[in-house]
Structure 1
Amino acid sequence: MVANLSVSQHSDVPIYRQIVTQLTFMIEMGQLRDGERLPGSRLLADNLGINRNTVAHAYADLRDQGLVEARGRNGMVVVGGERARSASRIRDRAREILQAAARECAELGLAPSDVRELVLDLAARAADSAPRVSFVECNADRAHYFADELEKHLDIGVKPLVLGDFDPAVERPDLVLTTFFHLAEVRGLLRGPSTDVIAIVVAPHVQTLLQIAQVPKNRTVGLWYSTEDQAASIRDSLAQAGVTNTRVLTGADAGADTGADADTDADDERLDGVDLVVVPSEMPGLRRRLEGRVRVIEFGNVLDAASIRMVREVVRDLQVARR
């Protein structure tokens, strides 16, 4: 599919931006699907007859948008297809609304320049009145998932942020949302005189804690995530809640979403003495792999109705205060 990509050396649009625009369109249209690899930056640069750094710049831009991610030797892989298609549908709907409004303005006798000035003024006013909202998580996929879900319910932009990947001195939103597992850390990073930090996903969090609390203290709760850092982060958060009988189970193959072909001997050794294993909801294959050998629960990563209602009320209060 990427063979259809082309750039113009004579366009006013920077070449890296041409690449970003075309690849974004391919992802939105489903021509590039989640899991598909993009050509290496050197290969694509040679094919287009441009500098390799230009391609690297374009790929970095796509990564920042959450459309691709680096996966070691596999290079850049498409991951944000559904998110891109959702954004495309939103833009299409916005275009329909503006098209109808522009037609009515023209019928009233307004010149195109007057309509453009009005739209820009109204957009600026709307942006000024809308609070800046961010969602912070330790995992890029979950950060984007929650940000996208919140945008659907709030009708305002929500910026996804990943712990360790942003500058707290630069990011100063009006409202910061996170999960309970990261509340203390995020408050320490971003709380200021004009920034509210609140935790959401309360109901799934409480349900997870209740199941963990049922495990005897002399037994072990295993934390099996795709990376050791993620599991350790959950372990530390549970420790703050008084749950200390945990063990990080992440191994060399822990991130593999596999089933019956997994190394059962290695799994059994890792699960020795473990009563309950907590896994992330985005790894269903891991749950299937472990079921029948140990009790498995998914950490609640679903946006619940109570969280949506609470955030909507907080945003409304912020909007009223800014008027």
Structure 2
Amino acid sequence: MKRKNTLGAVIGSLIGTLSLSVLAQGQGAVEVEVFGKRYFTDSTRNMDDGNLLGGSIGYFLTEDLELALSYGEYHDLNGDAPVNKDIKGSAAGLDAIYHFGEPGPGLRPYLSAGAAHQSISNTFTSGRDHTTQGLLGAGLKYYFTENFYARGGVDGIYNFDRGDSEWMAGVGVGVNFGGSQKAEPAPAPVAEVCADSDNDGVCDNVDKCPDTPANVTVDADGCPAVAEVVRVELDVKFDFDKSKVKEESYGDIKNLADFMNQYPATSTTVEGHSDSVGPDAYNQKLSERRANAVREVLVNQYGVGGERVNAVGYGESKPVADNATADGRAVNRRVEAEVEAQAK
């Protein structure tokens, strides 16, 4: 009964997270998983190989690095002697997990390292047997969607208190949710249009410019607004060796899209750049991927016509800061764009 209750609570928590309205991978995301592992024990303890069933919850410090707490209970750890025929126990651990590849649907390999505390009973020792374990692991996660994944992996185990080694192989399923939300910019001010409620052909209640025609854009004084050139610029920064648009850049990209949608005759070229780390040919491709990533957000997410947005990469050929410093390289990992229009 205890086994069913424990697994039921973990599975219930997993299913409950699927109903959350905010789902996103990336920095700040949380992953909840249920797992089953085959535990291959050290032969000196005369125990059969058993199973570890449980769950974990993790938090992404960056889009690649996750800290995960886990808890599992052992089953089927039977031994050869009457005193250890029905071995019970549990393990609680903390792992740092580094993921490779870009967040999103698809395959993400990982490496992990951590520590666990194991407690089992009905062994040859009197009372419970406690040991501290060091863990090293590797495996693959496959994200079927942005948020739902399956995992398979192996873990090497070193028991510090006994000086022996064991290992586990297991699978799991989980969900990823709660990453950084897109920052929504403040709405653009709406231009004021002069009204003519008495139908005399001129603006109502205008003191400084009493002859202002009706239905024209006016300034704060009610006078016809002078046409001027207006401009919006975009500067999106990227992490090292990454082409994924960061969550905090979506607001700036939406500002550019809103401007272009307000002035439908405009077009732009988004220009991708890299720092100087790595081969020239690789950095050229990386800059092109960055430019295309920003273009896709403008076109697919914010509705700018694809024929109005061109993307080009310049590699490391146009630095704006010193590539000899980390701060300078961070500035050079960018995508730029600008749009001009004549305001009416």
TM-score (norm: length of structure 2): 0.25
Kindly indicate which of the two structures has a greater share of residues assigned to strand.
Answer: 2
TM-score (norm: length of structure 1): 0.26
Kindly indicate which of the two structures has a greater share of residues assigned to helix.
Answer: 1
